A and B are shown apart, each in its own frame.
Chain A
Amino acid sequence: MSLAEPPAAPGPSPSASPGGDGSSDDAPPRPPFAQDWRRIARMGAIGAIGQIFISLSNMPVKLDGRAIIEGVLSLGYLSLVVLPLASGSRVGHQIRREGVPHHRPGAHEIIGGAACGALVGGGLSLLAVLIANFDLREPLVNWSPILADLLGFNRGTAFAVIIWLAIGAAVGAAGGLLRVVPPLARRVLWTMVLTLFGAAVLESLTTDLAEGMGIEGLIEWFYAPRGGLTITGAIALAAGSGVLAFVARGRIKGAKSRIDALEGPARNRANLGLILATAAVLVILPMFAGKLTNELLANVGLFVLLALGLNIVVGLAGILDLGYVAFFAVGSYSAAVLTAATSPKIHPELPWFVALIGVVLLTGLVGLFIGAPVIRMRGDYLAIVTLGFGEIIRLLFLSDWLSGWFGGSQGITNIPGAEIFGLATVAGTDPRSVFYLVLAFCAIAIYVSWRLERSRIGRAWMAVREDETVAEAMGINTVNVKLLAFVVGAVLGSFSGAIFSAKVGSVFPASFLILVSIVILVVVIFGGMGNIVGVVAGSAVLIGVLGGPKQPGLLAEFSEFKLLIYGALLVWMMLARPEGLIPSVRRTRELHQEEMAQDAWLRGQTEDDNGGRDATASTAATSGSTVEAARLAGESA
C-alpha cells in the first residue's frame, strides 16, 4: 500500500522555482504508444522478481487468512497487487526539471502503467507455470501446491497465467490512471482506500472499543463474523469517506496552514489546544477498551518511550547508536533487582518509584561507561562498536559469571508491579494502568525533548550533528556534549525498561535481542529523525500495526514477516523520503530546495531521463558543492 505514490507531500513547495504542483504541465501529452519500452521492461522485470519473492516468502498464503473485505480481498492478495499498482504509477513518473518540458499526463501514462503492471503480474504467471512443472520444494519450502492454488484461484495453471496478466494490467493501468485524474479525485480515492484499509486493520481495536461503549450492533454491521469488512460496510465506508474528503477538500490544509501561520501567544494557544485534545483522547480511550487493546496500547507506549530516547541520541546529536537496547536491558534488570524479592544476590525490595532513582543512576553510569570510549569515534566505527556493546550487555546478563546476580538464562521472575504512592499497583494483569503509567512517562519524555531541543545544549547537539569540526571551533566540547546526549538517551530508555519489568513481571536476557535496537531505529527514522511529533506518530503506527520485536501488533498475521517489512520500509524511506513520514517543515523545505538547486544545475547539463529518482536522490545526497555551484550560477545570472 505504502509503496504506491504517496499522497500529496505536506509542506510548502519552494516558491522560488516554477515547478509547482500539476500547474506547470507545459508540454502536450505524450503519444499513447510511443512508450519508453526499455524503462517499462526494466521496471516490470524488477516488479516481477519482487512478486515472485513475495510469493515465495509465503506472505500471500499466510496473510490470506486475514480478510480486508469479506470474500473480496484478503491481506494475502493485497500483498500481490501492491507492486503492480506501484510500478504502474511509477513508470509514468516524469522528473521535474527546470527547463525540461513536463508532459501533461494522459493515455500514455495509463497504457504504460498497464504494460508495466502486466509484466509485474506476469511474474506470478511465470511462477504458477514453474510450480506446476518443476518441484523445487527442497530448497524453497514455500514452493507448494497451496501457493499454486492461491495463484490460480483453485482453477488451474492456465487460469493463473491469464488472470495474473489481467490483474497486473488492470492494476497497473489504475496506477497510471492515478497520474491522470485531477488532484482532487486522487485525494478522494486515496482517502477511500486508506479508510478501508485502516478500518480493516483496526478491526480488533474498533470492535473492542465498541463493546466497551455498548454499540456492538453497529460494528456487526461493518465487520463480518469471520473478520474483514462486510461488503455493505465497505461500500458505506468508502462512500462516506469519499464524500467527506470531497467536502473537506482544501479545508484541512487550509486549517493547518492557518495554524502554522499563527505566531506568538495565539500559536501557543492553538498548540496547547491540540495537545490537550490529544491527551484527552489518550486518557479516555483506554477506559472503554478491553484488556487486549490496552495491552497493545501499553506495548506501543513502551516503544514510543524508547523511540523518544533514541531520538535524542540519533536525531538530535547525530550519534548512530545501534546498541540502544543495552539501556532498555539495564533499566529492566536494575528495576528487577531493586524491587523483586526473588532477585538472586541482593534484594532490597524497594518500592518501584524509589527504585527508579537507582535505575536512573545505574543506567546513567552504564551510559557513561559505554559512552566514554565509544563517543570519540566517528560515524561507522561508532555504529559498529555500539552494536557490539548492545550484545555484550545482553551476554553479560546471560553469562554464568553474573548468574549469581541476574539469574543467567532463567532471568529474574516474580517482579512485583509498580506501586504508585500507594494509590494503585501497575502490573501486567492490569494493562490499562500500565498504559497510563507509560503515557505519563511519554509526556515527560516529550516535554524534556522539546525543551532540550530549544536549549543551549540542544543547539550544541544539533551543531555536532551538522558539523562536528565546526562545532568544535565554536568552543563546544564535542566529547562532553555527545556523552551527555548518550546518557540522557540511556536514562529515557531505562524508564521504559523499568516499566517493562514491572509489567511483564519477569526479565530474561532473551527479551533484549539486538532486534529491539534495530526496530527502534527503524521507527525513529520512519517518523523523521529529530522531529518529536514524527517520531511519536511513526513509532505508534509502526509498532501498533506491525508490532514490536516480540509483541504482536494489530496485524498479528504479519509476525513472521515483520522484519522483512521493517527492512523494506527502511530501504524505501531512505530512497524516497529521507525526511521521514511526517517531516518537520524545515526539513522538507531544505531537502526540496536542494532538489530544485540540483535541477537548476542540471539545466545546463545534457538531458538524461533514465536516471530516475535514484540518480537524483544519490546525487542530491553528495551534492553539497553542486548545490553551491547552482546557487552561484543563479546569483551571477
Chain B
Amino acid sequence: MSTGASGAAGSASQDGGSGAASTAERTPLLEMRRVNAHYGAVHALRDVDLSIYQGELVCLLGGNASGKSTTLKTLLGMLTPTSGEVVLDGEVVNDRPISYRVARGITMVPENRRLFKRLTVRENLQLGAYLRKDSDGIAADMEHVYELFPRVKERLGQRAGTLSGGEQQMVAIGRALMSQPRVLLMDEPSMGLAPALVQQNFELISQIHEAGMTVFMVEQNANMALGIADRGWVLQTGRVVLDDTAEALLANPALRTSYLGGGKGASDGSSGADGTAAG
C-alpha cells in the first residue's frame, strides 16, 4: 500500500472547511476539467469539473442515470471525453489507455463489485495486481489484504461467486488494493448489500481512508456517504449542480429533500436539487 505522507494532507483538508482555501497551492491528484462525454448521441457528462486531492475522501451523489458511473469510467479511461481534460497528477491523460492510468495509481471497484465469479478468491486478488511485476511487493500486499480482511484469507481457494455479499465486497476492495492505488474509485459500494451490511461497508471505507488512501466514491445513499466524506458533488443529468463540503451538503435543504428520504426520494427529488443549482 502507498502509505506515504497522505495522512497529514488528508486531515488538513478534512478540517479545512472549504476545499478551495486549503488546496489552492497544491495540484490535485485527479482532476476533471470541463469534461464532456457522450455515448453516441447521449450526452452523458456536461462540463464537469472535479478535483480530488491526495488523502481526501470525496463523494459524488446523484440519482439514477445522472452520469455517476460515466464519470468514473471517464476517469479510468474506459470512455474518452469528447472535450475537456482528465488530469492525473498534473498530466493530461485523455489519450492514455486504462493500463497506463492503473499503473499510475487509479483503480476502480466497479458497480455491483463484479468479481470474476468462477475464479478463486486468490486469482481475483492476483488479477488486481495484473500490471505489477514486483512479486515481493505483491506478496506483501496480499498479506496486507489478509490483515484488513481475515475472512478473505480463509476463502482463498473458493470461487468468488460463492461468497456472501459482504465477503464479495471485501474481495472487491482487496482486488482493487492489490494494484497499489493512489486513488480508489468506488462505484456505489453499498448497492445490493443487505441493510445490516451497509453501515459496516461505510465503516470499512472510512477505515481504508484513514490508513491513507484517497477515495472517490459514487453513491446514491447520500446520508451515509456524506457522513464519512470530506467533500461532495451532486450530479444531475450529467451536470454538477452542487459542490460543497460534506457538512454543508448535509445541511443543504435542497439535498435534504432530494436524497435524505432514501431510495424513494432520489427518484422524485431531482427537481429540488435543481433549484439550488443556480444559487
A476–B132 Cα gap in the complex (Å)? 11
Known A-B contacts A473-B98, A635-B194, A635-B196; A459 and B165 likewise in contact (beta carbons under 8 Å)? no
> Which chain B residues in 155-180 approach chain A with CB under 8 Å?
159, 161-162, 164-166, 175, 179
Known A-B contacts A459-B126, A632-B192, A636-B194; A587 and B118 likewise in contact (beta carbons under 8 Å)? yes
Stretch at the interface among B109-117, B215-223, B228-236: B109-117
Q: A226 interface residue, CB < 8 Å from B?
A: no
Q: A477 interface residue, CB < 8 Å from B?
A: yes
> Which chain A residues in 455-479 approach chain B with CB under 8 Å?
456, 459-460, 462-463, 466-467, 469-477
A residues less than 8 Å from B114 (CB atoms)? 467, 469-470
Please determine whether A473 and B110 come into contact, CB atoms closer than 8 angstroms.
yes
Q: B140 interface residue, CB < 8 Å from A?
A: no
Using CB atoms, name the residue of chain B closest to A584: B118
Q: B10 interface residue, CB < 8 Å from A?
A: no
A395–B127 Cα gap in the complex (Å)? 41
Please determine whether B116 and A475 come into contact, CB atoms closer than 8 angstroms.
no
A247–B174 Cα gap in the complex (Å)? 49
* Contact count band on B: 35 or more
B residues less than 8 Å from A590 (CB atoms)? 117-118, 159, 161-162
A610–B193 Cα gap in the complex (Å)? 33
- Give the distance to chain B from A20, nearest Cβ to Cβ, in Å: 18
Q: How many residues of A contact B (CB 8 A)?
A: 28
- Give the distance to chain A from B170, nearest Cβ to Cβ, in Å: 13
A residues less than 8 Å from B257 (CB atoms)? none
A64–B118 Cα gap in the complex (Å)? 45
Q: Specify the main secondary structure of chain A where it touches its partner.
A: helix
Using CB atoms, name the residue of chain A closest to B97: A477
For A575-601 the 0/1 string (1 means CB < 8 A from B) is 000000000001101100110000000
A2–B161 Cα gap in the complex (Å)? 30
Q: A135 interface residue, CB < 8 Å from B?
A: no
Known A-B contacts A470-B110, A474-B102, A475-B102; A460 and B159 likewise in contact (beta carbons under 8 Å)? no
Please determine whether B179 and A475 come into contact, CB atoms closer than 8 angstroms.
yes
Please determine whether B78 and A473 come into contact, CB atoms closer than 8 angstroms.
yes
B residues less than 8 Å from A472 (CB atoms)? 78, 98
For B94-105 the 0/1 string (1 means CB < 8 A from A) is 000111001100
Please determine whether A636 and B195 come into contact, CB atoms closer than 8 angstroms.
yes
Q: A430 interface residue, CB < 8 Å from B?
A: no
Q: B277 interface residue, CB < 8 Å from A?
A: no
- Give the distance to chain A from B276, nearest Cβ to Cβ, in Å: 34
A456–B114 Cα gap in the complex (Å)? 20
Q: B20 interface residue, CB < 8 Å from A?
A: no
Using CB atoms, name the residue of chain B closest to A593: B162
Known A-B contacts A472-B98, A475-B103, A628-B192; A466 and B119 likewise in contact (beta carbons under 8 Å)? yes
Please determine whether A631 and B123 come into contact, CB atoms closer than 8 angstroms.
no
For A339-369 the 0/1 string (1 means CB < 8 A from B) is 0000000000000000000000000000000
Please determine whether A475 and B99 come into contact, CB atoms closer than 8 angstroms.
yes
Please determine whether B130 and A635 come into contact, CB atoms closer than 8 angstroms.
no
Q: B249 interface residue, CB < 8 Å from A?
A: no
- Give the distance to chain B from A624, nearest Cβ to Cβ, in Å: 8
Known A-B contacts A474-B179, A477-B99, A586-B159; A631 and B116 likewise in contact (beta carbons under 8 Å)? no
Please determine whether A476 and B119 come into contact, CB atoms closer than 8 angstroms.
no
Please determine whether B118 and A586 come into contact, CB atoms closer than 8 angstroms.
yes
Known A-B contacts A469-B78, A473-B76; A463 and B116 likewise in contact (beta carbons under 8 Å)? yes
- Give the distance to chain B from A106, nearest Cβ to Cβ, in Å: 35
A205–B199 Cα gap in the complex (Å)? 67
A460: which of B103, B127, B162, B166 is its contact (CB, 8 Å)? B127
A residues less than 8 Å from B97 (CB atoms)? 477
A463–B114 Cα gap in the complex (Å)? 11
- Give the distance to chain B from A451, nearest Cβ to Cβ, in Å: 15
A residues less than 8 Å from B103 (CB atoms)? 475
Interface centre among A456, A469, A475, A635 (most CB of B within 10 A): A475
Please determine whether A466 and B116 come into contact, CB atoms closer than 8 angstroms.
yes
Using CB atoms, name the residue of chain A closest to B195: A636
Interface centre among A469, A471, A632 (most CB of B within 10 A): A632
> Which chain B residues in 120-153 approach chain A with CB under 8 Å?
120, 123, 126-128, 130-131
Interface centre among B98, B118, B119, B179 (most CB of A within 10 A): B118
For B66-78 the 0/1 string (1 means CB < 8 A from A) is 0000000000101
A62–B128 Cα gap in the complex (Å)? 57
A residues less than 8 Å from B196 (CB atoms)? 635-636
> Which chain B residues in 189-218 approach chain A with CB under 8 Å?
192-197
B residues less than 8 Å from A477 (CB atoms)? 97, 99
Please determine whether B179 and A466 come into contact, CB atoms closer than 8 angstroms.
no
Q: B108 interface residue, CB < 8 Å from A?
A: yes
Please determine whether A635 and B116 come into contact, CB atoms closer than 8 angstroms.
no
Known A-B contacts A462-B123, A474-B102, A632-B192; A589 and B130 likewise in contact (beta carbons under 8 Å)? no
Using CB atoms, name the residue of chain B closest to A460: B130
Using CB atoms, name the residue of chain B closest to A462: B119
For A43-75 the 0/1 string (1 means CB < 8 A from B) is 000000000000000000000000000000000
A470–B120 Cα gap in the complex (Å)? 16
A residues less than 8 Å from B102 (CB atoms)? 473-475
For A606-637 the 0/1 string (1 means CB < 8 A from B) is 00000000000000000000001001101110
A460–B126 Cα gap in the complex (Å)? 10
Please determine whether B130 and A470 come into contact, CB atoms closer than 8 angstroms.
no
Please determine whether A475 and B131 come into contact, CB atoms closer than 8 angstroms.
yes
A residues less than 8 Å from B159 (CB atoms)? 586, 589-590
B residues less than 8 Å from A476 (CB atoms)? 99, 127, 130
Please determine whether A475 and B119 come into contact, CB atoms closer than 8 angstroms.
no
Using CB atoms, name the residue of chain A closest to B122: A459
- Give the distance to chain B from A484, nearest Cβ to Cβ, in Å: 14
Please determine whether A463 and B119 come into contact, CB atoms closer than 8 angstroms.
yes
Please determine whether B127 and A463 come into contact, CB atoms closer than 8 angstroms.
yes
Please determine whether A475 and B165 come into contact, CB atoms closer than 8 angstroms.
no
B residues less than 8 Å from A470 (CB atoms)? 110, 114, 116
Please determine whether B165 and A628 come into contact, CB atoms closer than 8 angstroms.
yes
Please determine whether A459 and B108 come into contact, CB atoms closer than 8 angstroms.
no
Please determine whether B119 and A632 come into contact, CB atoms closer than 8 angstroms.
no
Known A-B contacts A472-B78, A628-B192; A586 and B120 likewise in contact (beta carbons under 8 Å)? yes
A224–B60 Cα gap in the complex (Å)? 80
A456–B138 Cα gap in the complex (Å)? 13
Please determine whether A473 and B108 come into contact, CB atoms closer than 8 angstroms.
yes
Using CB atoms, name the residue of chain B closest to A592: B162
A114–B166 Cα gap in the complex (Å)? 49
A311–B259 Cα gap in the complex (Å)? 50
For A537-581 the 0/1 string (1 means CB < 8 A from B) is 000000000000000000000000000000000000000000000
B residues less than 8 Å from A474 (CB atoms)? 102, 127-128, 130-131, 175, 179
> Which chain A residues in 428-463 approach chain B with CB under 8 Å?
456, 459-460, 462-463
A residues less than 8 Å from B127 (CB atoms)? 459-460, 463, 471, 474, 476
A-B contact pairs, 27 of them (CB 8 A): A456-B130, A459-B126, A459-B130, A466-B119, A470-B114, A470-B116, A471-B116, A471-B127, A473-B78, A473-B110, A474-B130, A474-B131, A474-B175, A475-B98, A475-B99, A475-B103, A475-B130, A475-B179, A476-B127, A586-B159, A593-B161, A593-B162, A631-B164, A631-B165, A632-B193, A632-B194, A635-B164
Known contacts A475-B103, A636-B194; can you find 16 more A-B pairs with CB under 8 A? A459-B119, A466-B119, A469-B78, A469-B114, A473-B78, A474-B102, A474-B128, A474-B131, A474-B179, A475-B98, A587-B118, A590-B118, A590-B162, A628-B165, A635-B164, A635-B166
* Chain B interface residues toward A at CB < 8 A: 76, 78, 97-99, 102-103, 108, 110, 114, 116-120, 123, 126-128, 130-131, 159, 161-162, 164-166, 175, 179, 192-197
The 5 closest A-B pairs by CB, nearest first: A475-B102, A466-B116, A475-B99, A475-B131, A636-B194
